[in-house]
């Protein structure tokens, strides 16, 4: 099989496809985790799907490298980052739809339960001394009713996770 020269446009095209696959796995992980509070098994499945998404990203990039020529670490990083960016976009759409139409206030109820725990109130008093805890907790509850805001915050969190997974994914993708 003839190895081809690295083409950034072709790599981007494949990363879109890989991002869709990884995004679907991450979306399934998110949904399982959201329902995992009521059904413990789904929480475990959600964690497993998150690991599978990471391994899938590295495997797909390694497969691309075998087909198109061995990838350097830098090119593998490039592909991993693009894959994760496209996956984050897919997950953001799923999360927005979930919080907008499917959540039904479940997140707000869970946050309220946590906020009412005495240990949490004590911790909050230590973290933000001098603040009115009831007002601060009210703001947190109101935020759970804003799907755009929650989705944006989760996108940033997913980007941080992607940056943490970038090097391990690139190492998986660039090795023989």
Region for 40 from its dihedrals, namely left if φ exceeds 0, alpha if ψ lies in -120 to 50, beta otherwise: alpha
Of 70, 74, 86, which Cα lies nearest the Cα of 167? 74
**How many structural domains are present in the chain?**
2
> Rg (Cα) of the chain, in Å, rounded?
20
63 & 127 share domain: no
165 & 99 share domain: yes
Helices (H), strands (E): how many in the chain? 7, 0
Low-confidence ranges of the chain (pLDDT < 70): 1-3, 175-176
162 & 78 share domain: yes
**Torsions phi, psi of 101, nearest 5?**
-120, -25
76 & 161 share domain: yes
Q: Residue 149 domain-assigned?
A: no
The pair of structure tokens assigned to 39 is 């059904």
pTM comes to 0.86
Domain that holds residue 139: 106-144
pLDDT of residue 174: 85
What is the rounded distance in angstroms from the CA atom of residue 98 to the CA atom of residue 8? Answer: 34
Contact 61, 53 (CB under 8 A): no
pLDDT of residue 119: 86
Burial (CB count <10 Å: 0-12, 13-18, 19+), residue 170 = buried
């Amino acid at each position: 099989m003839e190895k081809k020269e690295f083409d950034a446009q072709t790599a981007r095209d494949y990363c879109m496809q890989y991002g869709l696959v990884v995004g679907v796995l991450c979306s399934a992980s998110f949904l399982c985790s959201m329902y995992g509070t009521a059904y413990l098994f789904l929480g475990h499945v959600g964690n497993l799907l998150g690991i599978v998404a990471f391994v899938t990203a590295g495997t797909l990039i390694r497969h691309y490298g075998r087909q198109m020529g061995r990838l350097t670490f830098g090119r593998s990083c490039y592909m991993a980052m693009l894959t994760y960016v496209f996956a984050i976009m897919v997950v953001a759409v799923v999360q927005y739809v979930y919080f907008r139409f499917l959540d039904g206030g479940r997140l707000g109820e869970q946050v309220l339960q946590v906020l009412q725990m005495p240990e949490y109130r004590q911790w909050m008093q230590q973290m933000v001394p001098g603040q009115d805890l009831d007002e601060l907790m009210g703001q947190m509850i109101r935020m759970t009713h804003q799907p755009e805001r929650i989705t944006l915050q989760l996108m940033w969190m997913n980007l941080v996770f992607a940056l943490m997974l970038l090097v391990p994914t690139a190492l998986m993708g660039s090795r023989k």
